[in-house]
A and B are shown apart, each in its own frame.
Chain A
Amino acid sequence: MTQPLPHDDAKHDGSKRHSLECMLWAGTGLLWTVVGGVPRSALIGSAQAQTPGGGFSFAQVSDSHLGFSTPLYSDVAATTAEAIAQLKSGPAPSLVLHTGDVTHLSRPAEFDAAQQIFGTSGLEIHYVPGEHDVIDDDGKGFYERFGRGAGPAGWYSFDAGGVHFIGLNNVMNLRAGGLGQLGAEQLRFLEQDLRDRSASLPIVLFAHIPLWTVHAPWGWGTQDAEQALGLLARFGSVTILNGHIHQIIQKVEGQIAFHTARSTAFPQPAPGSTPSPGPVRDLPAGRLHSVLGVTRISRVEGRAPLAIIDTPLGA
């Protein structure tokens, strides 16, 4: 299907269509520029590396896994708190999306730690669950604490800064050998939620497991994502933010930009690069802060509309 490119569309008819045009990957000194769906990378120049200012901005935090501990990743509460402090140290985002695996084992003490770090941050945080948040109780503990604004099954939508946000839950009832799944009921919700909205409205959809198949043998994908993407196809600007894989991977398909965030706890290997997706075991000493981090997203009225900037906790 061929659709007019969003920036061309805006140029020609002055509509409010927006697309992802600029991604900065500050952690490795790479600047990703995406124009018309073609990503290009270049070394960051000082002018280019500036955060777009003056627009609505929000941030993404993911996979804090509070409760996890190994000798290599011994204090995930500290690195997560550091990520939150880093967010607060810059221009304050209007809101924060947490894309799941807030905790490691859904245990009360872990939820308490999460409330201590996120709940006292003063930031407006919207959550979706990861599979680690719904262990053994089908998410009851998670929804009690972090289900604000969500329906009983964990999905919801809201508007902020001229952007329509949709939080989805693709971590329930996972099947043997399968990927994440949304399910028929949630797809109906999505259809109804989008039905009467203008195609020029920027959409940000966030869920834990990637909504595109990053690596099926490890379950890194969502089996019925295609149906969801079909419902989003008519919109001029769609940004999909996921977690789960603890690394940045991005893709642009038509007018849909996909992006996965780093974890604030531990990194996972590149898809298929090791026998298993377990935490990276051979991380060189002193490199931890370069593989953890947060994501900032800005919408700038009238020009490069949505910019995604990933910031590591350190070099």
Chain B
Amino acid sequence: MTAKPWCRRSLIAGWGIVLAFSAKRTEAATATIVIDDYLFMPAELRVSIGTTVVWENRDSSPHNVLSVADPRVFRSRAMATGERFEFTFAAPGTYGYFCGLHPHMQGFVVVE
């Protein structure tokens, strides 16, 4: 099927908007915390509301991510090397978390 010229222009313009919107959303809405050598890096992360934070375990040891709040706001399963966990922060606040296997490993996410 061949679209009429005005139709093609609309489609191209439409995709452009979608792509621009996606790029902006991706850039603004995702942040990564790397876990390596028994550390969360960065240990302190500031993000805006709606951001999805991804914890990526690059350590040879397994780690998990538990929020310190009671009840917990988020809790990952244990991540082996190369595994990830993500959580989207919908509300402002300071979210402390730690590794339940190695509790001296701690970090926090500030959502503004």
Contact = CB atoms under 8 A, between A and B. Distances in A.
B is a partner of A: yes
Interface of A: 70, 104-106, 131-132, 135-136, 174-179, 217-219, 275-279
Contact of B60 (A175, A176, A219, A278): A278
Contacts of B68: 176
B103 A175 contact: yes
B30 to A, nearest CB: 25
Contacts of B98: 175-177
A105 B62 contact: yes
Contacts of B29: none
Contacts, number: 57
By size class, the interface of chain B is 20 to 34
B88 interface: no
Given A177-B98, A276-B37, A136 B77 contact: yes
B78 A218 contact: no
A177 B40 CA distance: 13
Contact of B106 (A105, A177, A275, A276): A177
Contact of B62 (A104, A176, A219): A104
Nearest to B61: A278
B39 interface: yes
Contacts of B37: 275-276, 278
A91 B80 CA distance: 39
Nearest to B64: A135
* Binding site secondary structure of chain B: loop
Given A135-B78, A277-B38, 10 more contacts: A105-B78, A131-B101, A135-B100, A176-B66, A177-B104, A178-B103, A179-B103, A276-B37, A278-B37, A278-B38
Contacts of B60: 70, 278-279
9 contacts: A70-B60, A131-B100, A135-B64, A176-B68, A178-B103, A218-B102, A218-B104, A278-B38, A278-B59
Contact of B39 (A104, A276, A279): A276
A136 B104 CA distance: 19
A176 B61 contact: no
B77 A219 contact: no
Q: By CB atoms of chain A within 10 A, which of B60, B97, B102, B106 has the most?
A: B60
A98 to B, nearest CB: 19
B58 to A, nearest CB: 12
A217 B38 CA distance: 12
